[in-house]
Structure 1
């Protein structure tokens, strides 16, 4: 087993004490020798951290003792070295920027599809209601270039805040299909699915846990390439190991 445990996790939950949380989270992360990034906003928490396994899991256990974070479910992967140079804990306006304040996943979460069900649908080419299934990549173009679901829709986004405009430009193309939005760990999908439903697109689902959970539960069937991650590893393969350099 490789010595460094990497986790990514997010949770949309109403927070009113982000400044105080920033200090307590920073203190705990330093105490457990963790590096990475934690983002806090009124809408929730988003984190990418790495360090010794005991320290990472102790930090997560501490965080979950706060009832607001009890549902946090980190996705794990391993590396030989810590892929972050330092620890950053920041308070932001949004934990994932969309610039649509009416989209509030903490208030109402859109329905999702789990990894094994999506893999089955992709194998059969339709969902259980007989509708054709399309996967919609909500990530930036440079991330998609590392890997994506076979045949996925890619609107060549340069930033996530462009997604709403792209939806409105392409929504007629999605009519009559079951649209499964996906991203790295699920955070962008949460907002993406809500916006698509608000825009009048029927039969929208988000991939539960994103690509990382899909890799964990299916081994990456129907996915081509690797998954970009925002750390020194650059991307990970379907075994959740650092992808080999080209």
Structure 2
């Protein structure tokens, strides 16, 4: 049986909620997709706490759980690794989220209902529970993207997105190398420019109950400047990449 849906998530130092998050998303697969073949792929991005051990300990309890351990390469690197694994196992649809327990799994259905209307669907944190500095940076990035690309996306980096598997394969093949700091932004831009309706569906965003945000204040400002420069450079090759995405033949990632 082919895999209908793979949920993918990066994980870094989430020992306090990791077991609960795996259970929550595994329960969603078992309840909402009981008749389908599904997988939950978690990439442990070199966590310094017990996240990796917890994942290994609970893996036998969840037959659909795939655990991948890698050296710390950052959130974006872990996300791309998870995407590539989902594409490799032939998932028809891939849903990406984070492991910090800030989203409600039931909201996946809001995106799932639109899957026949678009190959790339985004959620949108209409009420976002993050610190004011992070919210300001996000707003600046949103309007910077509009200035550079003429593309307005409400929440381009949101870790709550549903992507058709073959379309994701094409997008991944066009990502810059090395992987940019925030690859989800690049994927959203390419999808929008390729003509996909992203929908920007309002979803619930919860306050973080455990762990700590790994990027704060000046470090956040630094990586946002890095992302902006990466986006400027990407603009030079965007038209060619969009042509490649629109091609019908399969590609290797």
Q: Normalising by structure 2, what TM-score?
A: 0.28
Q: Normalising by structure 1, what TM-score?
A: 0.29
Larger RCO: 1 or 2 (CA < 8 Å, sep 6+) = 2
Of Structure 1 and Structure 2, which has the larger fraction of its residues in strand? Answer: 1
